[in-house]
């Protein structure tokens, strides 16, 4: 049995904000591993600017080398079409019925949870870990939390690590963290304008983007 975090996203490209999210989660919750799951075509985004999934997978794989518990999953990337979290979760549950799953999302993404397919079932079948993002503190979730009524709300402290018995499915974990103010949108804009992206992505990802001339 493993406690597995599921970190979905377009990762177009993966950046140091994503890695900080995963680091905060692995340091503050007793998860065994975090699967980064690049989506094939993002459900809520137009696909024009999205580079092919093989590039996004490779960049995430490079980024995941920074921590032994971080790994990339091709569960969504390999299936052409839109990826819905509920479908992904059930697929992963079938392949690892013993595992307990935790979706990891930034506050901006969780604010839109009610637009996700079968979100009410999703919220019951796994737990969510919501990590703050600059401009979107945990307080911004108040209204949505009132509407979705999670089974339990847990706020792990900066130092204390939560005990495993507290990890019931249907829980909502709220993590106020200081993640850097970086977005993939900003990185794509900088690359288009010929500006450097040093310090925004891991060095290996920067070299990969340079090598394949992505986002030009």
Sites of contact with ligand ATP (CB under 6 A):
9-12, 17-18, 21, 105-106, 108-109, 131, 133, 179-180, 182-185
3-state SS class at 203: helix
Q: Which is nearer to ligand ATP, 155 or 166 (CB)?
A: 155
CB of 128 to ligand ATP, least distance (A): 10
Q: Which is nearer to ligand ATP, 139 or 166 (CB)?
A: 139
Distance between CA 140 and CA 130 in Å, rounded?
A: 11
CB of 103 to ligand ATP, least distance (A): 9
Instruction: Provide the strand spans (E) within the chain.
Output: 3-9, 33-38, 70-72, 100-106, 127-131, 152-154, 171-175
CB of 23 to ligand ATP, least distance (A): 11
By beta carbon distance, the residue nearest ligand ATP is 106
Q: Which is nearer to ligand ATP, 42 or 167 (CB)?
A: 42
Q: Which is nearer to ligand ATP, 94 or 142 (CB)?
A: 142
* Alpha-carbon dihedral sign for residues 53, 56, 60, 61: positive
Burial class (CB in 10 A: 0-12, 13-18, 19+), 176: middle
CB of 13 to ligand ATP, least distance (A): 9
Q: DSSP string covering 58-102, please? A: HHHHHHHTT-TTEEE--TTTTS-SB--HHHHHHHHHHH-TT-EEE
Q: Which is nearer to ligand ATP, 82 or 94 (CB)?
A: 82
CB of 169 to ligand ATP, least distance (A): 20
């Amino acid at each position: 049995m493993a406690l597995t975090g599921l970190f979905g996203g377009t990762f177009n490209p993966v950046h140091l904000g994503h890695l900080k999210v995963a680091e905060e989660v692995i340091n503050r919750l007793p998860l065994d591993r975090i699967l980064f799951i690049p989506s094939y075509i993002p459900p809520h985004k137009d696909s024009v600017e999205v580079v092919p999934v093989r590039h996004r997978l490779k960049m995430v794989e490079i980024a995941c080398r920074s921590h032994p518990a971080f790994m990339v999953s091709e569960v969504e990337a390999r299936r052409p079409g839109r990826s819905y979290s509920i479908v992904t979760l059930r697929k992963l549950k079938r392949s690892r019925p013993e595992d307990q799953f935790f979706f990891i999302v930034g506050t901006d993404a969780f604010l839109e949870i009610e637009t996700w397919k079968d979100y009410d079932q999703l919220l019951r079948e796994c737990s969510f870990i919501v990590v703050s993002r600059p401009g979107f503190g945990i307080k911004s979730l108040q209204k949505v939390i009132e509407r979705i009524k999670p089974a339990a709300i847990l706020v792990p402290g900066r130092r204390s690590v939560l005990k495993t018995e507290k990890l019931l499915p249907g829980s909502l974990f709220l993590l106020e963290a200081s993640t850097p103010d970086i977005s993939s949108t900003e990185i794509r804009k900088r690359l288009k304008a010929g500006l450097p992206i040093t310090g925004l992505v891991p060095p290996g990802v920067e070299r990969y983007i340079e090598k394949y001339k992505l986002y030009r």
